[in-house]
């Protein structure tokens, strides 16, 4: 059985269920959002460079792996791809460059050769990115503090995440259906105007502060359910399938894990809404963070799809998300 995260792109201190947590009220989400997160420069792949002398692999003598984060070149700190391009532009001859690499908790220096392509451009033969851009769903908002929780999982591994990110309005303009073995996805147009800022990227979700509560749902506050209050049986998920229109769809909670401490995949759900199944084939990417509602309480957030049977998926308990964000 295989799973995938539902965002379209270290363990934390565990927390026992607090009695006071049973009286937490939030504004439930379901609104689609765009997420932009600066990650620093991380390696997504390698390629051979076409030069006047033939194809070469500038990285062949280095210890660079996919997923590594480049934090300095020749002793100069770098955070954006343009920072590296500026350093390369000042070179006069091909030569080995010292790259400072972060790999999880390890930091080390390795070398990678800067070569001229047959188009007379400098290259290290590395595919890199410096940000993540995608679509997800708001799970809840704490009205008093304007703190939000979304996704129900991380955007990217914590060691790669930078300190700057924002959320924006997302308008859904198409759906690619899920099929067994092939997760579907929401297609969206994302605004570049920040509606809030990301301050935390964790295993249990993405968190931050919104600018104005009125930019999101006008639904009234709803109580958070403790994990031991979540039961198998009928429930709903709230999500957007078209434009900015949030809708409610029926699901069945088919399994509830006994978790006394924070963890993922605490709730297993099955989509039972025929209209949702016809439109999406089940759970799709971009649906992550969709609130799971049972007995007029926020019990969790959709986070993973079971790839070979996409009508099934998993969610994280809402209590863990909120306690991780207070």
pLDDT of residue 83: 96
Is residue 264's pLDDT more than 60? Answer: yes
2-38 burial, b if ≥16 CB within 10 A, otherwise e?
ebebbbbeeeeeeeebeeebeebebbbbbbbbbbbbb
Nearest C-alpha neighbor of 147 from the set 199, 191, 194, 225 = 199
Please spell the DSSP secondary structure of 161-219, one letter per residue.
Answer: --S-EEEEEEEEEEEEPPBTTB--EEEEEEEEEEEEEEEEEETTEEEEEES-GGGS--P
Name the catalytic one among 153, 178, 217, 303.
153
What DSSP state is assigned to residue 278? Answer: H
pLDDT of residue 287: 96
- Average pLDDT estimate for 217-241: 93
Distance between CA atoms of 273 and 254, rounded to whole angstroms?
A: 15
Nearest C-alpha neighbor of 316 from the set 305, 301, 306, 304 = 301
Q: Identify any residues that bridge with 3 across adjacent strands, giving them in sequence order.
A: 306
Q: How many CA atoms lie within 13 A of 197 on its CB side?
A: 5
Is residue 39's pLDDT more than 90? Answer: no
pLDDT band for 158, please (50, 70, 90 cuts).
Answer: low
Name the catalytic one among 123, 288, 290, 303.
288
pLDDT of residue 102: 94
What DSSP state is assigned to residue 4? Answer: E
Average pLDDT value over all residues in the chain: 89
pLDDT band for 38, please (50, 70, 90 cuts).
Answer: confident
pLDDT of residue 157: 63
Distance between CA atoms of 141 and 147, rounded to whole angstroms?
A: 6
Name the catalytic one among 22, 131, 157, 273.
273
Is residue 66's pLDDT more than 60? Answer: yes
Nearest C-alpha neighbor of 4 from the set 318, 294, 282 = 282
> Is 153 a catalytic site residue?
yes
pLDDT band for 233, please (50, 70, 90 cuts).
Answer: very high
Distance between CA atoms of 9 and 103, rounded to whole angstroms?
A: 21
Give the Å distances, CA to CA, from 80 to 31, 43, 201.
30, 12, 19
Higher pLDDT, 14 or 1: 1
Interstrand relation of 297-306 and 222-224 (parallel, antiparallel or unpaired): parallel
pLDDT of residue 159: 54
- Average pLDDT estimate for 129-145: 92
pLDDT of residue 214: 87
pLDDT of residue 219: 78
pLDDT band for 3, please (50, 70, 90 cuts).
Answer: very low
pLDDT of residue 6: 52
Is residue 22's pLDDT more than 80? Answer: no
Asked whether the beta carbons of 46 and 113 are under 8 A apart, the reply is: no
The tens digit of pLDDT for each residue in 170-205 reads 999 999 999 999 999 999 999 989 999 998 888 899
Query: Which residues lie below 8 Å from residue 190, measured CB to CB, with a gap of 6+?
Result: 34, 133, 135, 168, 169, 170, 171
pLDDT of residue 9: 44
> Is 22 a catalytic site residue?
no
Percent of the chain topping pLDDT 90: 77
Higher pLDDT, 35 or 164: 35
């Amino acid at each position: 059985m295989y799973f995938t995260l539902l965002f379209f792109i270290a363990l934390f201190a565990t927390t026992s269920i607090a009695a006071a947590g049973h009286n937490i009220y939030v504004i439930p989400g379901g609104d689609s959002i765009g997420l932009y997160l600066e990650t620093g420069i991380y390696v997504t792949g390698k390629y051979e460079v076409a030069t006047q002398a033939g194809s070469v692999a500038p990285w062949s003598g280095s210890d660079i792996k996919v997923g590594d984060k480049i934090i300095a070149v020749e002793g100069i700190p770098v955070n954006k791809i343009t920072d590296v391009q500026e350093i390369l532009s000042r070179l006069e001859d091909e030569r080995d460059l010292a790259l400072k690499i972060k790999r999880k908790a390890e930091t080390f220096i390795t070398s990678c050769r800067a070569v001229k392509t047959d188009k007379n451009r400098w290259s290290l033969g590395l595919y890199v990115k410096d940000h993540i851009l995608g679509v997800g769903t708001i799970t809840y908002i704490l009205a008093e503090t304007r703190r939000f929780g979304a996704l129900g999982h991380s955007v990217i591994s914590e060691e790669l995440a930078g300190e700057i990110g924002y959320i924006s309005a997302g308008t859904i303009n198409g759906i690619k259906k899920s099929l067994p073995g092939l997760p579907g996805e929401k297609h969206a147009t994302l605004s570049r105007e920040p509606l809030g800022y990301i301050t935390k990227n964790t295993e249990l979700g993405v968190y931050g502060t919104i600018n104005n509560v009125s930019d999101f749902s006008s639904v009234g506050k709803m109580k958070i359910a403790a994990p031991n209050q979540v039961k198998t049986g009928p429930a709903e998920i709230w999500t957007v399938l078209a434009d900015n229109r949030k809708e409610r769809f029926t699901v069945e909670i088919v399994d509830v894990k006994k978790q006394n401490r924070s963890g993922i995949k605490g709730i297993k759900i099955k989509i039972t809404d025929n209209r949702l199944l016809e439109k999406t084939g089940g759970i799709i990417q971009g649906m992550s963070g969709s609130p799971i509602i049972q007995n007029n309480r926020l019990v969790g957030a959709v986070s993973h799809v079971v790839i070979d049977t996409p009508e099934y998926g998993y969610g994280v308990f809402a209590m863990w998300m909120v306690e991780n964000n207070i």
